[in-house]
Amino acid sequence: MLCNIWLRYVVVRARRIGSYSEGRLLSNSGGRSLNLNAGRSFSYLKECKFTAIRKMMVDTSSTAKGEPIGDVLPEKDDDGGYASGGWKSEDGRLSCGYSSFRGKRASMEDFFDIKTSKVDGQTVCLFGIFDGHGGSRAAEFLREHLFENLMKHPEFITNTKPAISETYKQTDVDFLESEKDTFRDDGSTASTAVLVGNHLYVANVGDSRTIISKDGKAIPLSEDHKPNRSDERKRIESAGGVVLWAGTWRVGGVLAMSRAFGNRMLKQFVVAEPEIQDLEIDEELELLVLASDGIWDVVPNEDAVSLAQTEEEPDAAARKLTETAFTRGSADNITCIVVKFHHKKADPEESQHD
């Protein structure tokens, strides 16, 4: 029975991907399609002239208990090849920049989302990277719905960690339901950072990643969900699945990540349960980097922090990370968000009066 499911999955994926002639093959990143004839030089990337925007697009909708959601929406070229820009909070506590580039891929399957709002009188900021595989539909669905669903959760402010977990899993159910009458079997990662007041929650599903720089040191706040991770392998095998080597370790010899949204045919083994870490924001926390594996495949955590710190503005830092990943040979879509924290320094005069 299990073998038949895997065979059906491979056949469907083969039909989606089509002929492997004309330089097309499966890469080692979750069975994603890679066009070998789509290679571009660094000079082309420079010629793209990333479009920088600094504006807030305010959605007319609102959260169940909050004020209108502020969306930082990207400006892209005609074929969705790149986007870049930045935003600063009204209170000056943080600023962020984003950069997204199709790179050497024939299509763009990365999406990202940045939102800010007030819920129950509490200021919240949300940042997310969604890296699709087998198509872009799952990643696009997450961009459209994940944060909206989270802010509508009745315990979002009072019990944030369980609210994030429940929202991830329910959004996965919603996506699968929306696709039940199609022949697609898209999937997507999700790596998100949610700032509620002075508390940061980082949730991850898949092999996108979030790191912070604290007192100059790179600290990962998520661990990639790879099938050969001992705890992930054990979970998959306990559910009746297998992890096989096929160019890289894959669930059922098909998918190179052990958790994801979508992937209906492997859903018994490939879950959307997030791993969540949380911490209080303090003065040692300098910046936050969220990125798809198009960055992490070629840029170590320490390099990402060092590169981001060379730029004053986070939008320039995000572009530098994207350009570096491309020049180092990343064969994937490349997307990142850089968030910088601006800690208010005590005024010496005020201290004297205290």
| Host H or E run for residue 305 | helix 301-309
CA distance 272 to 173: 9
Which residues contact residue 344 at a Cβ distance below 8 angstroms, ignoring those fewer than 6 apart?
Answer: none
3-state secondary structure of 202: strand
For the record, the structure tokens of 119 come out as 């819920």
Per-residue pLDDT of the chain in tens (354 residues, 90 and over written 9): 444 444 444 444 444 433 322 322 222 333 332 232 233 334 334 444 433 333 333 232 333 344 444 555 444 444 557 899 999 988 888 999 999 999 999 999 999 999 999 999 899 999 999 999 999 999 999 999 999 999 999 999 999 999 999 999 999 999 999 999 988 899 999 999 999 999 999 999 999 999 999 988 999 999 999 999 999 999 999 999 999 999 999 999 999 999 999 999 999 999 999 999 999 999 999 999 999 999 999 999 999 999 999 999 999 999 999 999 999 999 999 999 999 999 876 555 544 554
Q: Which domains does the chain have, with CATH numbers?
A: 2-343 (3.60.40.10)
The pLDDT score that the predictor gives to residue 327 is: 97
pTM: 0.80
> In this structure, how many other beta carbons lie within 10 angstroms of the beta carbon of residue 159?
12
The pLDDT score that the predictor gives to residue 246 is: 96
The pLDDT score that the predictor gives to residue 183 is: 87
Tokens 């580039």 locate to 101
**Integer angstrom CA distances of residue 336 from 294, 316, 339:** 9, 11, 10
**Integer angstrom CA distances of residue 46 from 96, 152, 332:** 22, 41, 18
| Bridging pattern class, strands 209-214 and 285-291 | antiparallel
Tokens 């994940």 locate to 146
